[in-house]
Structure 1
Amino acid sequence: MSAGHPGQLMAAEMAEQPAVLRRILTEGAGPIREVAEHIAARGPRFVLLTGRGTSDNAALYAKYLLEILLGKPCGLTSMSTTTAYAAKPDLTDCLVIAVSQSGGSPDLVSSTVSAREAGAVTLAVTNNPESPLAGAAEFHIDVLAGPERALPATKTYTAELLALYLLVESLRGGDGVAAAAALPELAERIIDRQEEVRRLAGRYRFAERMVLTSRGYGYPTAREAALKLMETSYIPALAYSGADLLHGPLAMVDNVSPVIAIVTEGRGGQALQAVLDRLRDRGADLVVVGPQGQVDAASAGFALPTAGVPEELQPILEILPLQRLAYEVTLARGQDPDAPRALAKVTETR
């Protein structure tokens, strides 16, 4: 249970995110670059990514980075193929990246051990360098988020995103620090706009269902925001790629159920435009998180200060108002975001 007033832990950890981002850029970039150099020397041809929950959404973000920036074929693993079915894949020349806040889930540890035995280069990305997962992998990256006490993961998610971005940039010969340097200050500006998000949350106090959509780098944000809404407020929140939304699920959109669109400034946002037009044609209650122009054309929204921020870094900013939205909606519904029912900090799937 939470200490003090409802949501105290989650609120404190959301507020820590600018400091965590600074810490990664100043203290974490060097170790990440060293790990990347060791991995690059092994010459992996393709990449498999593993995670659960919030960390699975971070892994999906890394999949976009690796495929777009590095041109490496990537996949998200099904851990049960090795943990439940005892499959023996040949992972020669493969990099396997396991992403986990705690590094304690048995299936992540077991699948990483199996991957290493199958010939893969294995990397754990965790918030706990002493965890079983960190010990099971050949290489480890500490996301330096500090202890996370709230059950809903917030600061560890953005820390994972930035660490994975720096890893990919280092794998292609750079370091990414200069491109990401503005993130901590921009994150502070977004987090300071709490009252704006609180007003927005009033639209969703009585929502029975929500739909979130995006494309490209923004799609992991849609999935993570949906997860946060479900695990804190218990509102069924469905996340779709904009392309997938048009292939059937659009039929359930009406003028009652809210739709949140995450519009990344760049190619992903351009690809989403046709979806936004269709949603408006259907009279959807459309809320946009993205550039000011897109917010002005929607029913409501939250404008992001992303001008000049590379498209691949915008997800680190996009999720911040959506974390706060989940928090505020949960409080408005009389629930405690620090104490979601049926959740544990380490989920021991096998």
Structure 2
Amino acid sequence: MQIGTYIRRQPSTLTGLPAAIGADLDSFASLRQKPERIVLLGTGSSMNALLAGAEALEEGTGASVIAKEPEAFLRLPPKASGQRTLVLAASQSGMSITTIEAVRLSVARGFPTLVITGEEGSLITEAGAEVIVMPIGPETVGPKTMGYTATVISVLAVAAKLANKAVDLSGLLAQLEQTAETGLAAAKDLITRFGVPDYILVAGQATHLGTALEASLKIAEISGVPTAAFDTEEALHGHVYGTTDKSLVIAIAQTATEAKVAANLGEALAELGPRTVVLNLSGRPTRFDLNVSWPTAPEQQWLAGCWAPIPLQWYGCELAIARGIDPDKMIYPNLGRRLNVRIRKEA
């Protein structure tokens, strides 16, 4: 299972990447002034990573933050105004057709535009924007895990730069390695306890809306189990009605208040049949918690968006194994090409 190598590589990537891109951040004209409006631009895992950093961007700059899929950006690009605007785009592959077109349009409209990608020399690096190329190397499997968390920490490094702060995770390597190993054990335990659910609902809010969306995407890509993600408040307003006694609800909690809400959800569903577990980063335990060792977080709680997905990445792999599927491959390996969402490299 090669994907496990990349999951285990995330601690060293997360702890080393802020320093690795620091000189680039210092050189970018787009980051020399705090923006008053930030437009996030991406799809799939890239958009999920941007959303995981959205609250940090807003908190650090006071800017209004708007998320736009590339098609929406192309259809209705932001209008020029007196507000200083930063367009922050992400594309791990650098080959997403509409993201490239949207970046080109942003540059043509005169907006300061910064792109985060994992592929040096990809087409998006030629679109005219300033570019962060994450020094993470290739992920030679279908579902990308390391690329996601590296994008999250890159977005948070941008947020810190705009807020005149520093991101330093260098002292957390051993703790993050423990998170990776206990996350695998927790994923195996979920399979032992619940088998393969008929449906998985993942709920999170603020930074962890991005975590929930990414976890849902990875579980579906790797295992093929029907999965959806919602903001926690949205999930509480009806979406759990779509679960059965064979379903699993995963609630992500960052604060004590969120842990209390997640526990209340678990108690309510326990009487009805659906199972609930809590990915609990709050320090306030509930009886539904997954047994994961989390880092002693720095003051900024939003940094947890970097490591929160790790147990659920493992869970997608363990679900695939339980279903007799190779976790290194997408459940439909060639679907992206058939849908024509990426530019194909010439042979």
Cα RMSD after superposing both structures? 2.3
Distance between the aligned counterparts of 2:209 and 2:42, measured in 1?
Answer: 16
1:50 touches 1:56 (CA, 8 Å); kept in 2? yes
Residues 227-242 of structure 1: pairs in structure 2 closer than 5 A? 227-242=217-232
Residues 173-212 of structure 1: pairs in structure 2 closer than 5 A? 173-177=164-168, 180-193=169-182, 194-212=184-202
TM-score normalised to structure 2 length: 0.88
Deviations 1:126-145 (A, max 9, x none): 01131111221421112211
Q: State the SS of the aligned residue for 1:273.
A: helix
Deviations 1:22-53 (A, max 9, x none): 33134222323333xx2233553201111111
| CA apart distance, 1:107 | 0.7
Deviations 1:204-249 (A, max 9, x none): 5331101111222122111111111101111111111111012221
Query: CA 1:247–1:227 in 2, change beyond 3 Å: closer, same or farther?
Result: same
| CA apart distance, 1:108 | 0.7
Match of residue 315 from structure 1: 305
1:48 touches 1:94 (CA, 8 Å); kept in 2? yes
**AA at the equivalent of 2:174:** E
Match of 1:328 among 310, 318, 327: 318
Q: State the SS of the aligned residue for 1:130.
A: coil
Q: State which drifts further: 305-314 or 338-347.
A: 338-347
Match of residue 297 from structure 1: 287
Structure 1: tracts of 5 or more residues without a match: 1-7
**AA at the equivalent of 1:34:** S
Match of 2:79 among 87, 90, 110: 90
Q: State the SS of the aligned residue for 1:123.
A: strand
Q: Does 1:281 align with 2:272?
A: no
Query: CA 1:253–1:69 in 2, change beyond 3 Å: closer, same or farther?
Result: farther
| CA apart distance, 1:15 | 1.6
| CA apart distance, 1:295 | 5.2
Match of 2:331 among 341, 344, 347: 341
Distance between the aligned counterparts of 1:70 and 1:203, measured in 2?
Answer: 44
Count of paired positions: 333
**AA at the equivalent of 1:303:** V
Match of residue 345 from structure 2: none
Q: Does 1:121 align with 2:112?
A: yes
Match of residue 23 from structure 1: 16
TM-score normalised to structure 1 length: 0.87
Deviations 1:87-143 (A, max 9, x none): 564345321111011111111110101111112111110011311112214211122
Query: CA 1:328–1:270 in 2, change beyond 3 Å: closer, same or farther?
Result: same
Match of residue 147 from structure 1: 138
Match of residue 53 from structure 2: 62
2:223 touches 2:327 (CA, 8 Å); kept in 1? yes
